[in-house]
Amino acid sequence: MKIVVLDGYATNPGDLSWDGLAEFGELGVYDRTPAEMTVEHATGAEILISNKVFLGADEMAALPGLRYIGLQATGVNAVDLDAARYHGIVVSNVPAYSTSSVAQHAFALLLELARGVGRHADLVRQGAWTNCPDFAFQDTPQVELTDKTFGVIGYGDIGRDAARIAAAFGMRILVHTRTPDPVGCPDVNFVELDQLLTESDVVSLHCPLTPQTEALISAERLAMMKTSAYLINTSRGLLIDEEALAQALRNGDIAGAGLDVLSSEPPPADNPLLTAPNCYVTPHLAWATFAARQRLIAEIIENLRAFLAGRPRNQVN
């Protein structure tokens, strides 16, 4: 049996091992697979392990021996699930492997906006403190999070973990989700989206990308937010109307944004958020701690083991 990893570099840049997959058959690993080479790299494979390489109806039709697609991700946007179902191909994802890492990164972005640790450390290196007449200085307003309102849009594993961290900071928690479940959440207030946007000091996005959530954060919804509020997105870039957010930041309609995802990745040089004021963009690395990537590979292996035993787990189609 032939197993092919189509785009393994992001998950394993060399500090982990794919050897666990080799116990199941002949293993081939590509660091990256351009779209035009997908079929060439996958030819003859019964098992594909993929992250962001798109596998659609055309690719599946050209790969008649393909039986299983193991995703190196929780999101399933890179696979045409209807086409996979039509061709009898099982697709499994890996949920919850990066929950803690992503929630922590959301707060890394928030703390940079609120306290500017990185910005001030850079200023110190540049001599600003050495040349300061006072014992202390601040280049940006210093914001304390205690008693501020943290709004969570999407209340899956990551949203819940982010809310837990916010509570540890002494923040009030508002949540908007399709399926409110107050059981076991005594300190969480489930509210409608408009209320969350108008009352929150921080709005943190943790919902999946669907036709209903695309451009969820529009110009109209940005206008509902406080001028002192921060927007955090560690979920999917297309949840935000990027031009509208850039304009809101330029106008001072909100105080800042911390983003780990953009609509196109890597982004074109003219993406307006790359030059928007008080906008911190990190390169989709919230998920990529060593611990999370280690869990991811372990789960990919267990998903494949279960499929081959006739008991698929984490099947999404």
Using one digit for the tens of pLDDT, what is the confidence trace for 204-262?
Answer: 999 999 999 999 999 999 999 999 999 999 999 999 999 999 999 999 999 999 999 99
Q: What percent of the chain has pLDDT over 70?
A: 99
> Residue 184: what pLDDT?
63
Q: Return the half-sphere exposure (C-beta side, CA atoms, 13 A cut-off) of residue 304.
A: 29
Look at residues 265, 225, 218, 208 and name the one whose alpha carbon lies nearest to residue 242: 218
**CA–CA separation, 160 vs 158, rounded Å?**
5
Model confidence band, residue 187 (pLDDT cutoffs 50, 70, 90) = confident
Look at residues 109, 165, 152 and name the one whose alpha carbon lies nearest to residue 280: 109
Which residues are identified as catalytic? 236, 265, 284
Strand partners, 198: none
> Residue 230: what pLDDT?
98
> Residue 180: what pLDDT?
85
Q: 């202390």: which residue's tokens?
A: 136
Asked whether 69 and 48 are in contact (CB, 8 A), the reply is yes
Q: Is the pLDDT of residue 120 over 90?
A: yes
Map out the domains of the chain with their CATH numbers.
2-97+290-308 (3.40.50.720), 99-281 (3.40.50.720)
> Residue 204: what pLDDT?
98
Q: pTM value?
A: 0.93
Average pLDDT, the chain: 96
Burial class (CB in 10 A: 0-12, 13-18, 19+), 185: middle
**CA–CA separation, 116 vs 294, rounded Å?**
31
